[in-house]
Structure 1
Amino acid sequence: MKHNIYLIIITLLFVVSCTQQKKETITQTDNPVVEAPFKYWAWYGAGANVADSIHRNQFKKYASAGIDAVLIDTRADADYLSKVAPLAIKEGLEVHAWMFTMNRPGDTIALKHPDWYMVSRSGKSCFDDRPYVDYYQWLSPSHPEARKHIWSLVEGLAKVEGIKSVHLDYIRYPDVFLPVGLLPKYNLVQNEELPDFDFDYSMASVDKFKKLFGKDITQAEVPAIDIEWKQFRLNEIKALVDGAYDIAHKHGKDLTAAVFPYPEMADHMVRQRWDKWNIDAVLPMIYNNFYNEGLDWVEFATKQGLTDLKAKQTQLHTGLYLPEMTDDELSKAIAIVKKTGASGVAFFDIQESHFEVIKASH
């Protein structure tokens, strides 16, 4: 009799155990984790006076090649975006409002306020003496009114119905160091931080730094080795981005940005530490030819950025510069980016033959 009781108890325990395992299996499979599909992006430099038919044809071309998202150059004009965005959405494209942020060439409101602009260590204001190229007109993130102006532009774009994100470009300081591949174009040697390319020594920035740290940076013998001065500028950009993030999210939109290849490099070259920002997605411009690098560097820079973002929810989509890429190189580059675990790949200036390559890479 005892033997039969033990047998019944063991049988019951076995049934309960199997039932529990089955429940756990059901729980695990009923709600599987769905990974987001690898996304394809294209920056679209839409012209100001372009006919709708031209926009539509371009958007159709993107969609047929398997592009998922288009970053439309809005010039921070919400009315313009409201007219062009529906044309892209109709073709099934996700729309992101691309805007120049700190660099505001020809900004009619900002140009009324010369004190809003960044100033170099050599005393040259971006208002009328621009570094590198004539369209470099950089506003100071330390000037409260300049900052409010930028946030107002973000808000205008964020209010446009149907778009996915406001996309910040030039969200940094002017290039302290150019990519090495571009130096010959400007006949420059940059082995140190040169006064003409070291910003921001505007009154707004210098005074704010002095209040925070009790130092007049204009009197520093070697400002480049003052760690607080460097961190101050990194924090000024972060504050502007974080404010833009709050504005975008208030209107139900994401915030995305085009950034330099990976945070440590961006910090060194343009005072930009994007792994510290509140932001939904970054598109690092891993333009290997600008740096005289091969495709192996695309893998390295992408992985470095992913490592730096490991503790955050921010997505990373690798940006590629296509004009100097062959079809074979593009095919290999896309495969490399997919292999890294990045969330997507973004294309700047797609050449005609590249559309078939992009389509075939899906």
Structure 2
Amino acid sequence: MKLKIAFFSLLLSLVACNKATKQNTVAELNNEEVENTTKFKYWNWITVGHKKSDSAYTVHFNKLKSNGIDAVLMNTGADPKLLKRLTPIAKKAGLEVHAWMFTTNRPGDSIALQHPDWYMVSRSGKSCFDERPYVGYYQWLSPSHPEARKHILSLVEGLAKVEGVASVHLDYIRYPDVYLPIGLLPKYNLKQEEELPDYDFDYSDASIEKFMKIHHKDPRKMENPAIDIEWKNFRLNEIKSLVDEAYDVVHKHDKKLSAAVFPYPEMSDHMVRQRWDKWKVDMVLPMIYYNFYNEELDWIGYATKQGIQDLEEKQTELHTGLYTPKLSNPDLKEAIQLAKDNGAKGVAFFDDYTLTEEQFEIIKASKK
């Protein structure tokens, strides 16, 4: 009898010990999950090319990693071969790789340039194929043209197929600027107090025909198309549907979708027909370049918080984009903290080739 009691006591002790071990293991896993989900990420936009050697990129990527960068947004010109070459090098350095591409703005796209009808047209009748607003690299494809859209999505899929890539990152996923940031207007000797015909797009045949099938009216005949809500909403939805299709494409290849966007949704809507809080997208990186808008530094916190609030019911992560060439060292430190304090999951720096050693030290110190 005593032997049986001793045996059962031992058995109960082993069960209790095993249960405690499992609980500890679960707790450790939960802590690890919390750590992974709460880690503040540091991104860097970077443009790459074929000319630099693998060894030179190895040195550069190692430098970024050693200075606190976690992820690179790599612009290969939507070239999957170059992306395939450089992704393993960046990953070996410990960096996450995101395939950055120009989306509706496709400057110098050799395939698109064979199709003049793919391009957006302004209210004044100027096509981005040959008359570009603001700058020479503004060559905008119409998301309403089925073949232009198909071409853009084929580029997205080409990047999504590359092994090791974490996300395809859409930049210029919008219409041309209806309104420039106020701080940039003097550069172009412009006043934009209303929607000007030269900067109001897309009046291409493909866009107008698609709109008329839905709403049975022609924006080209409207006295003031800026106040027609259906016309504005149509263009917001054209961008949304393109993003949503891109989301399905990249998720088919087990990748995520990220996007560079304007500072917060209401502002993006007003300036570039981009309402990104309504998109199917995993991560957004709003470019909160406060000095472009003649705002003060704390505007970074304001815009970050507004974006977080607009995404409240969604799973989309927000990582604040910072324009480092215009940030002093003290302001860089405060900008990172403002992003953290207002709910961002990380910060992205544009661009790495201008980051100074002092700025790298600030970035590293902010991670402690």
Q: How high is the TM-score relative to the length of structure 1?
A: 0.91
1:113 counterpart residue number: 115
- Which residue of 171, 185, 188 corresponds with 2:187? 185
2:366 counterpart residue number: 361
Amino acid across the alignment from 2:332: L
Give the Cα separation in 2 of the matches to 1:48 and 1:140.
29
Aligned partner of residue 172 in structure 1, secondary structure: coil
User: Is residue 325 from structure 1 mapped to residue 330 from structure 2 by the alignment?
Assistant: no
Amino acid across the alignment from 1:327: N
1:69 counterpart residue number: 71
2:9 counterpart residue number: none
1:175 counterpart residue number: 177
- Counterparts of 1:182-221 in structure 2, within 5 Å, are 182-221=184-223
1:270 counterpart residue number: 272
Q: Is the 8 A contact 2:49 2:76 kept in 1?
A: no
2:157 counterpart residue number: 155
- Counterparts of 1:1-362 in structure 2, within 5 Å, are 31=30, 34=34, 35-350=37-352, 351-352=355-356, 353-362=358-367
> Per-residue deviation at 1:53?
2.5
> Per-residue deviation at 1:293?
1.2
Give the Cα separation in 2 of the matches to 1:294 and 1:66.
26
Give the Cα separation in 2 of the matches to 1:160 and 1:236.
27
Amino acid across the alignment from 1:359: K
Give the Cα separation in 1 of the matches to 2:135 and 2:293.
19
> Per-residue deviation at 1:292?
1.1
> Per-residue deviation at 1:214?
0.5
Provide structure 1 residue ranges, at least 5 long, that are not aligned to the other structure.
1-21
How many residue pairs get aligned? The number is 340
Give the Cα separation in 2 of the matches to 1:76 and 1:148.
15
> Per-residue deviation at 1:294?
1.6
C-alpha RMSD of matched pairs (Å): 1.7
Give the Cα separation in 2 of the matches to 1:345 and 1:121.
37
CA deviations on 1:49-92 (whole Å, 9 max, x unpaired) are: 22223222221111001111000011111011011111111100
Q: More displaced, 154-163 or 56-65?
A: 56-65
Aligned partner of residue 292 in structure 2, secondary structure: helix
Q: Is the 8 A contact 2:99 2:159 kept in 1?
A: yes
Give the Cα separation in 2 of the matches to 1:49 and 1:139.
28
> Per-residue deviation at 1:29?
5.2
Give the Cα separation in 1 of the matches to 2:49 and 2:179.
30
User: What is the aligned-residue identity percentage?
Assistant: 68
Amino acid across the alignment from 2:54: D
Give the Cα separation in 2 of the matches to 1:275 and 1:48.
36
CA deviations on 1:153-195 (whole Å, 9 max, x unpaired) are: 0000000000100000000000000001100110100000000
Provide structure 2 residue ranges, at least 5 long, that are not aligned to the other structure.
1-18
Taking a change above 3 Å as real, the CA distance of residues 268 and 48 of structure 1, as seen in their structure-2 partners, is: farther
